[in-house]
Amino acid sequence: MAHQALWSGRFKEPLSAIALNFSSSIDLDKRLYQEDIAGSIAHVEMLAAARILTAVEARRIRTALKAIQKEIETGKFQLTGEYEDVHLAIEQRLIQKVGPLGGKLHTGRSRNDQIALDERLYLRTAGKEIARLIVQLQRVLLYKAEKYFGTLMPGYTHLQRAQPVMVSHHLLAYVSMFERDYERLHDCLRRLNKSPLGAAALAGTSFPIDRQKVAKKLHFDGIIENSIDAVSDRDYLVEFLSVCSIIMMHLSRFAEELVLWTTKEFGFAQISDAYTTGSSIMPQKKNPDMAELVRGKTGRVYGSLLNLLTTLKALPLAYNRDLQEDKPPMFEAVNTTRQSLFIFSHILVHTTFDKKHMEEELQNDFLTATEIADYLVRKGLPFREAHAITGRIVSYCIDHRMYLGNLDLDTLHTFSKLFEPDIFDYMLPHRSVEQKQSTGSTSPQEVKKQIVHWTRVLKKRKG
């Protein structure tokens, strides 16, 4: 079967079925039919305002476009592989409905600026959905931070136990991370919210179109001034995928911690049965598969970003057919990020923390060693000397198979005469946390400030 293009006057032979099958993007870009029709309606209304079309012609085309959208949504009109892309499919259907008049729709535009417009409209909607999901996850984190306020856990550096911290403090760290993701996303949306329509193929058009009018109709903040730039660059998409990659990186880090915390070795948390799975051979297993999948799917989004960057890296200006390949990574990154944010909120809602076990673990280690060093500093020693003395105390405990809580004052005096009975209060995990005074620390006062701050911020947000 051969394919006859709408503009086939230049060619003596129709496009072969093999070439059509290889070059067709309809299976992917058919998802953009709503954006494509919205852009076409705004374009045809502008053509009428500019008196390039009559009001009657524009009204007939607009009515037919709305009917085509309903046909697609009800399945009456199928966007199948016989069409090269979504733009031609809709245009051909329009011509079938209104005759040659349908061919006037394309006046003053090209598929080059059309697809750039469709993608921006799609990303604008997707970005708002992702932003809403970020806020939803932040609210779950805030709820958990409030619920477990006062509960302590070992804090880590290098995956080695370091100092006692509040569970709330740890959870709120992710609220801050996702806040930057939220801000990056909105910065990206602000930059991409410019209309390329009217750039035509690359050089603009000789028709007296009003690009600003179309941009305003479609709720853009303005137009992309340079017509070559409007059709040839995809930095708005690169930036969007970069934001998605950072979001997924943060989700993956948290997923990794949930995987660790739910092991018997850690025993800090438990995910409900509704969000875990068993083993096909080992009956005792309870696997954190949903968290692992979020961690695994991060690679898809990274891959999408690299895919797009590689496609763009050597393209001369202006439009090249290579740009057709921007849609698979776009849809992949958007869908994966959206799904991962959604499922992670649900995973976290169904996660409980073992307060008793975490606080027991604080006693069976050396997490308050820094407090001993700080104690000696307050007694007048330079920090480096206090650090060395405390290190020798820890080494003594390890050699004698004991912890800091097992020490007595006489033993401590063998390391420094500066120790007094009150040193034992400083060794308590709760005292360690309460002693923190710096802004943003893990002290109850500072964590409470963070909770109040985020409660106020998130209350104002939609979603």
38-57 tens-digit pLDDT:
999 999 999 999 999 999 99
- Band (pLDDT 50/70/90 cuts) for residue 24 is confident
| Closest of 244, 248, 260 to residue 170, by C-alpha | 260
As a whole number of angstroms, the distance between CA 433 and CA 412 comes to 22
Q: Tell me the backbone φ, ψ of residue 271, rounded to 5 degrees.
A: -100, 140
Radius of gyration over every alpha carbon of the chain, rounded to an integer in angstroms: 31
What is the mean predicted confidence (pLDDT) over 339-362?
96
- Band (pLDDT 50/70/90 cuts) for residue 364 is confident
Q: How many Cα atoms within 13 Å fall on the side-chain side of residue 453?
A: 11
As a whole number of angstroms, the distance between CA 376 and CA 397 comes to 18
Helices (H), 148-269: 167-192, 211-217, 227-232, 235-261
Instruction: Tell me, rounded to whole angstroms, the distance of Cα 380 from its chain centroid.
Output: 49
* β strands within 128-197, DSSP E: 152-157, 160-166
- Band (pLDDT 50/70/90 cuts) for residue 1 is very low
Q: Residue length, the chain?
A: 463
| Closest of 237, 288, 1 to residue 121, by C-alpha | 237
Q: Tell me the backbone φ, ψ of residue 157, rounded to 5 degrees.
A: -135, 145
What is the mean predicted confidence (pLDDT) over 31-40?
98
Question: Burial of 396 by CB count in 10 Å (0-12 exposed, 13-18 middle, 19+ buried)?
Answer: middle
As a whole number of angstroms, the distance between CA 138 and CA 76 comes to 42
What is the mean predicted confidence (pLDDT) over 444-458?
98
- Annotated catalytic sites, by residue? 158, 279
As a whole number of angstroms, the distance between CA 436 and CA 440 comes to 9
What is the mean predicted confidence (pLDDT) over 206-218?
97
For each of the domains in the chain, give its residue range(s) and CATH number, in order of start.
Answer: 8-107 (1.10.275.10), 115-152+167-185+230-353 (1.20.200.10), 361-459 (1.10.40.30)
- Band (pLDDT 50/70/90 cuts) for residue 13 is confident
Q: Tell me the backbone φ, ψ of residue 341, rounded to 5 degrees.
A: -65, -40
Q: What are the pLDDT digits (tens) for 271-290?
A: 999 999 998 898 888 999 99
* β strands within 264-350, DSSP E: 269-271
Please answer whether residues 29 and 90 qualify as being in contact, where contact means their C-beta atoms are separated by less than 8 angstroms. Answer: no
Q: What are the pLDDT digits (tens) for 374-420?
A: 999 999 999 999 999 999 999 999 999 999 989 999 999 999 999 99
H or E stretch at 353 = strand 351-353
Q: Is it the case that residue 6 has pLDDT exceeding 60? A: no
For 148, 217, 289, the CA distances from 273, given in Å and listed in that order, are 21, 49, 11
Please answer whether residues 269 and 261 qualify as being in contact, where contact means their C-beta atoms are separated by less than 8 angstroms. Answer: yes
As a whole number of angstroms, the distance between CA 441 and CA 20 comes to 61
The amino acid present at 286, given as its one-letter code, is K
As a whole number of angstroms, the distance between CA 34 and CA 259 comes to 40
